[in-house]
């Protein structure tokens, strides 16, 4: 074999090896993109813009007279069997925050919970259900005309607090009726998984028939991710309430493995 043929064979072999190496590299990159894709995803995950709204003026809630229930120290005040509030259907009660201070007329109000493992109450008999596998119905208790008055559901809420005639009233009424929370002074948290480009703080928009209030909720039941979301609550001046579809906002990745039942 002459020297020219040997050199030609060496060149062909080297080119083949280089082409094979490139092909293997492309296959590995497709099978395991690694940090390159992660960098792209993180780069595209922008922090949302926060649209600020000034919180309405909420007067402090009036103090409730002695309920006869006992504070357990965990934010739940237990009403013993035979006590006045237990007889009204409150197994536990708890204070409410000042976002309910816009209700008119101003009355002392507290949250009232009733657990029902099997029995389902009709919608007009409770405000909302915070239970997961078991029903945990939420009502409110107030002190009115010298006695405790149970607010079972929307009909009782309308009876005491309608008409709704201001933005502060609308926010407080929407929170009372649904259990969703009002958010002001919202802060973006590094490391959270944001699912939207814009987050609007709570505010009430006047309409021809009443107000639309945006509130915030949290998916607590089931396994993660546990999504925080926005929900728009429409409140009529007569006190009727309707709830829009939830709009996902953000998640805490550390809760992805959390299961709540």
Contacts of 118 (CB under 8 A, 6+ apart): none
User: Would you state the pLDDT for residue 33?
Assistant: 36
pLDDT confidence of residue 73: 74
Q: Give pLDDT, residue 118.
A: 63
Do residues 165 and 209 lie in contact, with contact meaning Cβ atoms separated by under 8 Å? no
Model pLDDT for residues 108-157, shown as the tens digit of each residue: 999 999 987 667 889 899 999 999 988 999 999 999 999 999 999 999 99
User: Structural domain boundaries of the chain?
Assistant: 46-56+165-261, 62-95+105-162
Tokens of 116: 């029902």
Q: Are 89 and 114 in contact (CB under 8 A)?
A: yes
Q: Would you state the pLDDT for residue 128?
A: 96
Longest Cα separation, the chain: 117
Give me the residues of the chain with pLDDT under 50, please: 1-44
Q: List the alpha helices (DSSP H) in the chain.
A: 3-31, 35-44, 84-87, 154-161, 167-178
Regarding pTM above 0.85, the answer is no
Confidence at residue 198, expressed as pLDDT on a 0 to 100 scale: 97
> What is the pLDDT, as a whole number, of residue 133?
87
Q: What is the pLDDT of residue 28?
A: 31
Residue 201 CA to its chain's centroid (Å): 13
What's residue 117's pLDDT? 64
């Amino acid at each position: 074999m002459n020297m020219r043929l040997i050199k030609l064979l060496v060149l062909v072999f080297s080119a083949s090896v280089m082409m094979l190496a490139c092909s293997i590299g492309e296959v590995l990159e497709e099978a395991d993109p690694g940090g390159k894709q992660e960098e792209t995803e993180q780069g595209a995950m922008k922090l949302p813009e926060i649209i600020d709204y000034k919180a309405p003026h909420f007067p402090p809630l009036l103090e409730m007279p002695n309920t006869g229930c006992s504070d357990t120290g965990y934010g739940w005040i237990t009403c013993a069997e035979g006590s006045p509030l237990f007889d009204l259907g409150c197994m536990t009660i708890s204070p409410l925050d000042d976002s309910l201070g816009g209700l008119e007329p101003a009355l002392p109000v507290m949250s009232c919970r009733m657990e029902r493992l099997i029995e389902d109450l009709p919608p007009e008999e409770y405000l909302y259900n915070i239970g997961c596998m078991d029903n945990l119905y939420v009502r409110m208790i107030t002190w009115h005309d010298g006695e405790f008055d149970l607010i079972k559901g929307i009909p009782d809420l309308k009876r005491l607090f309608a008409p709704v005639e201001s933005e502060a009233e609308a926010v407080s009424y929407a929170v009372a009726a649904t259990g969703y929370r009002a958010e002001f002074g919202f802060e973006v948290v590094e490391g959270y998984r944001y699912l939207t480009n814009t987050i609007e703080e709570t505010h009430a928009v006047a309409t021809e028939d009443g107000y639309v209030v945006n509130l915030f909720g949290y998916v607590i039941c089931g396994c993660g991710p546990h999504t925080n979301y926005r929900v728009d609550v429409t409140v009529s001046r007569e006190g009727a309430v309707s709830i829009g579809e939830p709009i996902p906002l953000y998640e805490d990745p550390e809760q992805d493995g959390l299961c709540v039942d």
